[in-house]
């Protein structure tokens, strides 16, 4: 049965929205739009910023029925950190560890300020601890999103982090990645997120502030020369341009490719005519990825 999925990408400044029609065999992009995000401009739930965001979203949706609502949040809105987790730790022990970790970084924040998730990324048989990735978001950000969606009679079904939504795009649209060691790199105007994905398993994640294209070039040149066994570097993000891609390719010692979320997603003719996202597909890697996620 066909199902319309709303995908939203939200950063402090930018909002993207798309509608993806999904059935068992096909994925078709029916609509896409981008605008200045005002949702987080003011504290509180009922503000001019929320009003403006909701109006933009309502216009985009029109009369289309949505069956699943997915949101991917820019990594700059999140707290992401690696931490050791003792082997055999109970869920309660891990929860206590996470709360302690957050209290160390945010000592003035009340308890329950954050909603968090944790994912083991490194397991070593002889080590006393595994390495895990902690991803946390402020609870008030999620509440604001929920209230905004409620205004257009939608519920929030899936929340993801932008970089890991792009990882979903990589896995689903590039089946050969299951046999490769890949660096996935998200590029923005002031930040670069990097994950190392070996045979579709997350092996490492880190990020750097960047201040210029030269910073990005230098980081990727170092990455390509210092990480042994890389098959490719896949880049994506709103800070990426075609000109930058050419520059980056000249600086790396392994193949570098922009992540194309439309390899296995058809773009409706009406979308191509009005605003062809295939011209800069790397801008939509995260939002397509979250819309492809299963419940």
pLDDT per position in the chain (295 positions), as tens? 889 999 999 999 999 999 999 998 899 999 999 999 999 998 877 789 999 999 999 999 999 999 999 999 999 999 999 988 888 788 898 888 899 999 999 999 998 999 999 988 866 667 788 888 999 999 999 999 999 999 999 999 999 999 999 999 999 999 999 999 999 999 998 999 999 999 999 999 999 999 999 999 999 999 999 999 999 999 999 999 999 999 999 999 999 999 999 999 999 999 998 888 999 999 999 999 999 998 7
CA atoms within 13 A on the CB side of 79: 20
Longest dimension (CA), the chain: 57
pLDDT at 115: 95
Complete domains list, the chain, with CATH: 3-75+140-166+263-292 (3.30.420.40), 78-137 (3.30.1490), 175-258 (3.30.420.40)
Distance CA 29, CA 168 (A): 17
Closest by CA to 171, choosing from 193, 191, 195, is: 195
pTM: 0.93
Instruction: Report the alpha-carbon distance of residue 72 to residue 17 in Å, rounded.
Output: 10
pLDDT of residue 123: 67
Q: Are 105 and 63 in contact (CB under 8 A)?
A: no
Q: Residue 143: helix, strand or coil by DSSP?
A: helix
Alpha-helix runs per DSSP H in the chain: 48-61, 91-105, 139-151, 162-173, 213-226, 242-249, 269-274, 285-292
Looking at residue 275, its pLDDT comes to 81
CA 239 to chain centre: 14
Burial of 294 (0-12, 13-18, 19+ CB in 10 A): exposed
Please report, to the nearest 10 degrees, the dihedral formed by the alpha carbons of residues 205, 146, 12, 137 taken in order: -30
- Please tell me the distance from the alpha carbon of residue 9 to that of residue 32, in angstroms, as a whole number: 11
Q: If you count them, how many residues does the chain have?
A: 295
């Amino acid at each position: 049965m066909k199902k319309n999925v709303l995908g939203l990408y939200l950063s402090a400044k930018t909002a993207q929205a798309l509608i993806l029609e999904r059935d068992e065999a096909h994925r078709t992009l029916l609509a896409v739009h981008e605008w200045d995000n005002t949702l987080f401009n003011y504290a509180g739930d009922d503000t001019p910023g929320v009003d403006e965001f909701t109006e933009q979203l309502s216009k985009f949706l029109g009369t289309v029925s949505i069956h699943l609502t997915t949101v991917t949040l820019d990594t700059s809105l999140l707290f992401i950190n690696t931490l050791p987790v003792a082997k055999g730790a109970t869920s309660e022990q891990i929860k206590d560890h996470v709360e302690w970790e957050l209290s160390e970084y945010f000592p003035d924040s009340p308890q329950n300020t954050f909603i968090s998730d944790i994912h083991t990324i490194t397991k070593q048989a002889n080590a006393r601890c595994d390495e895990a990735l902690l991803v946390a978001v402020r609870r008030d950000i999620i509440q604001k999103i929920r209230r905004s969606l409620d205004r257009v009679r939608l519920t929030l079904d899936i929340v993801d982090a932008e970089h890991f939504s792009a990882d979903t795009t990589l896995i689903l649209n590039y089946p050969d990645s299951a046999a490769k060691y890949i660096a996935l790199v998200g590029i923005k105007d002031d930040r670069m997120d990097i994950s190392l994905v070996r045979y579709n398993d997350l092996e490492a994640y880190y990020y750097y502030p960047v201040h210029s294209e030269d910073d990005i070039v230098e980081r990727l040149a170092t990455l390509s020369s210092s990480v042994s066994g890389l098959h490719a570097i896949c880049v994506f993000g709103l800070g990426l341009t075609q000109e930058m891609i050419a520059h980056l390719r000249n600086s790396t010692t392994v193949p570098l490719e922009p992540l194309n979320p439309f390899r296995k997603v058809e773009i409706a003719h009406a979308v191509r005519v009005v605003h062809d996202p295939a011209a800069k597909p790397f801008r939509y890697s995260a939002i397509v990825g979250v819309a492809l996620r299963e419940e």
